[in-house]
């Protein structure tokens, strides 16, 4: 079996999400969003697919990097292909990103699962077929009845617990919200949520990503009193020493790094430096399923958990394949949006959750995304 074609299909779909000037998602009026589907096809007609923003897998990336490495290659030689692609990143002047690398590798895993008739999480290891989810909120806003006050966070948390979530992660207020960052407001929101849901629901905080050391320390100590489960990305992650300084002073687990580049290599440095208590990696952020697994096994060898960043079929597959991940991040959630409404380009949700807060893995071959190819065909705006 050899790879014969690598193609991209850009299409539109309705969405109620808007993005602010800092890139944070919020509810908004219905608009047309854009998505791209990367497809890898072999000489026997087997295909693998992965979704990504059109900017990530744009025509230049496919023609200049993906096709040069993939055409004629054995699709089951994923490690070899990944390293060949990763080698191209150095000379790409930043054009070939980790997220593009991840999309290509996801499509290869999807192809393998479809070829073998197995869900990807089983090919990766298959530790479990359901994972407890925490509800991950959108960032705070200034929408009345949304997430504009501590009381609104508390009311929404009660609804999430009633839905079945066993844990909740707060994303609090960040610029361009007019009063953000505001450490006191963040602490008040965390306290309001803890009071609303009681002592038995796991709570986490992912606040402003550029707090000073002293603000981060003050918030962390408040979270300890509120018995939060972890504190996440509270400072600029390019300063590993700041995280080592903070971790040494807090009892609450510090989780990271989330957005830092460097794949599994930088995560190894964080372990050595004592900069975190729980490692963080997500498939798009570290360049694919394979390096995410490397981070998870690195963490396991040091007796650490590795919490997977973000939702989606690929991250869910990793969560189900490893033992040292306690949660699946389901979201982003907001009072004005219904997460359980499937995207128009899928026939079903890739991460359905039961009333007890467990997300069940699809048993379909591949990554488990039930793609509506007819919808995509009808709404295609570009092919490359």
**What's the pLDDT score for residue 311?**
98
Maximum pairwise Cα distance, the chain: 60
CA–centroid distance for 368 within its chain: 16
300 beta partners: none
**What's the pLDDT score for residue 336?**
98
**What's the pLDDT score for residue 79?**
98
Distance CA 310, CA 312 (A): 7
Distance CA 322, CA 361 (A): 13
Portion of the chain with pLDDT greater than 70, in percent? 100
10 beta partners: 36, 382
- Per residue in 125-183, pLDDT (tens digit) is 999 999 999 999 999 999 999 999 999 999 999 999 999 999 999 999 999 999 999 99
Average pLDDT over residues 330-352: 97
**What's the pLDDT score for residue 81?**
98
For residues 37-63, one letter each, b for 16 or more C-beta atoms within 10 angstroms of the residue's C-beta and e for the rest, the string is: bbbbbbeeebbbbbbbbbebbbeebbe
Residue of 11, 55, 50 whose CA lies nearest to 289: 50
To 10 degrees, the CA torsion angle through 93, 95, 97, 103? -150
Helix (H, G, I), strand (E, B) or coil at 82: helix
**What's the pLDDT score for residue 226?**
98
Q: Helices in the chain by DSSP H: which ranges?
A: 59-61, 67-70, 78-89, 98-116, 120-124, 150-163, 183-197, 213-225, 240-247, 263-273, 283-286, 289-301, 313-321, 373-378
Q: Interior CA angle at 291 toward 285 and 297, to 5°?
A: 120
How many C-beta neighbours within 10 Å does residue 309 have? Answer: 24
- Per residue in 273-288, pLDDT (tens digit) is 999 999 999 999 999 9
Q: Interior CA angle at 263 toward 352 and 209, to 5°?
A: 75
- Per residue in 255-264, pLDDT (tens digit) is 999 999 999 9
Mean pLDDT of all residues belonging to the chain: 98
- Per residue in 13-61, pLDDT (tens digit) is 999 999 999 999 999 999 999 999 999 999 999 999 999 999 999 999 9
Q: Could you tell me the pLDDT band of residue 72, with boundaries at 50, 70 and 90? A: very high
Phi and psi at residue 40, in whole multiples of 5°? -110, 125
Residue of 255, 309, 250, 296 whose CA lies nearest to 277: 255
Give the pairing of strands 202-206 and 278-281: unpaired
What's the alpha-carbon Rg for the chain, to the nearest Å? 21
For residues 186-219, one letter each, b for 16 or more C-beta atoms within 10 angstroms of the residue's C-beta and e for the rest, the string is: bbbbbbbbbebbeeebbbbbbbbbebebebbbbb
Contact predicate 14/29, CB 8 Å: no
Q: Is 176 exposed, middle or buried (0-12, 13-18, 19+ CB in 10 A)?
A: exposed
**What's the pLDDT score for residue 368?**
94
**What's the pLDDT score for residue 94?**
95
For residues 329-362, one letter each, b for 16 or more C-beta atoms within 10 angstroms of the residue's C-beta and e for the rest, the string is: bbbbbbbebebeeebbbbeebbbebeeebbbebb
Distance CA 198, CA 195 (A): 6
**What's the pLDDT score for residue 231?**
98
pTM: 0.97
Q: Could you tell me the pLDDT band of residue 297, with boundaries at 50, 70 and 90? A: very high
**What's the pLDDT score for residue 375?**
98
- Per residue in 83-129, pLDDT (tens digit) is 999 999 999 999 999 999 999 999 999 999 999 999 999 999 999 99
């Amino acid at each position: 079996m050899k790879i014969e074609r690598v193609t991209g299909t850009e299409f539109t779909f309705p969405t109620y999400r808007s993005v602010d000037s800092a890139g944070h998602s919020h509810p908004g009026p219905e608009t047309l969003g854009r998505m791209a589907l990367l497809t890898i096809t072999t000489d026997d007609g087997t295909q693998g697919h992965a979704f990504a923003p059109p900017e990530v897998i744009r025509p230049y990336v496919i023609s200049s990097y993906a096709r040069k490495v993939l055409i004629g290659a054995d699709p089951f030689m994923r490690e070899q292909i990944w390293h060949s692609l990763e080698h191209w990143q150095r000379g790409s002047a930043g054009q070939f990103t980790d997220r593009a690398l991840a999309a290509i590798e996801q499509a290869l895993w999807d192809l393998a699962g479809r070829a073998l008739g197995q869900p990807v999480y089983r090919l990766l290891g298959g530790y479990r077929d359901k994972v407890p989810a925490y509800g991950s909120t959108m960032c705070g806003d200034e929408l009345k009845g949304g997430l504009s006050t501590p009381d609104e966070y508390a009311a929404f948390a009660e609804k999430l617990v009633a839905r079945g979530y066993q844990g909740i992660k707060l994303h609090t207020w960040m610029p361009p919200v007019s009063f953000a960052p505001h450490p006191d407001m963040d602490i008040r929101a965390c306290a309001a949520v803890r009071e609303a849901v009681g002592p038995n629901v796991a709570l986490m905080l992912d606040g402003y990503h550029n707090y000073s050391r002293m603000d981060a320390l003050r918030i962390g100590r408040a979270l300890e009193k509120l018995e939060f489960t972890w504190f996440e990305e509270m400072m600029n992650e390019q300063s590993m020493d700041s995280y080592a300084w903070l971790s040494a002073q807090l009892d609450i687990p510090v989780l990271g790094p989330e957005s830092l580049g460097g794949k599994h290599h930088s995560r190894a440095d964080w372990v050595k430096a004592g900069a975190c208590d729980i490692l963080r990696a997500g498939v798009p952020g570290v360049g694919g399923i394979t390096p995410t697994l490397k981070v998870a096994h690195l963490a396991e060898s040091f007796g650490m958990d590795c919490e997977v960043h973000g939702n989606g079929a690929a991250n869910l597959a990793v969560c189900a394949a490893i033992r040292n991940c306690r949660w699946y991040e389901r979201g982003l959630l907001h009072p004005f949006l219904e997460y359980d409404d499937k995207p128009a380009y899928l026939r079903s949700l890739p991460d359905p959750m039961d009333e007890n807060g467990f997300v069940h893995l699809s048993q379909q071959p591949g990554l488990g995304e039930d793609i509506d190819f007819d919808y995509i065909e009808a709404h295609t705006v570009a092919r490359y």
